[in-house]
Amino acid sequence: MINRRCTQMNTDKSNQISKEIIGASFAVSNQLGAGFLEKVYENALALELKSRGLHIEQQQALSVYYKGKIVGEYYADLLVQGSIIVELKIVEQLTNIHQAQLMNYLKASRLYLGLLINFKHSHVEVKRILNGYK
């Protein structure tokens, strides 16, 4: 369970980790291609990121609080280096609903950066989402 203050991590470090995640996503897509279930891509991406020396947590619990009480819990697909949430999709097109889901994860975790990655097609689609919550 994550309970952190929303802090913007060092931009250079965040960009470096983001590039690693995106590069790993392309490596997974190139190797597996399209057509698998989301869990297959999640497991493959976790393995690829670990092989690149990054710390990965899969299905990380994110609690939502209201007046100091937990009122809900979500599970982020991947938490990379304890600071970037990666949400994977297998959809025709990423939409505002997917972006809102990731933004809610960022708010719940009080983390600053999330990546939304779609493996549906032969090319990987990536959206970078920033949390402005402070």
CATH number at residue 65: 3.90.320.10
Residue 40 belongs to some domain of the structure: yes
How many Cα atoms within 13 Å fall on the side-chain side of residue 36?
16
Residue 6 belongs to some domain of the structure: no
Residue 5 belongs to some domain of the structure: no
Range of the domain at 96: 11-130
Q: 44-88: per-residue pLDDT in tens?
A: 999 999 999 999 999 999 999 999 999 999 999 999 999 999 999
Residue 50 belongs to some domain of the structure: yes
Residue 91 belongs to some domain of the structure: yes
Degrees, nearest 5: CA angle 44-25-106:
95
Q: Give the count of domains, the chain.
A: 1
Residue 45 belongs to some domain of the structure: yes
Q: H or E stretch including 84? A: strand 84-89
Residue 1 belongs to some domain of the structure: no
The predicted pLDDT at position 10 comes to 66
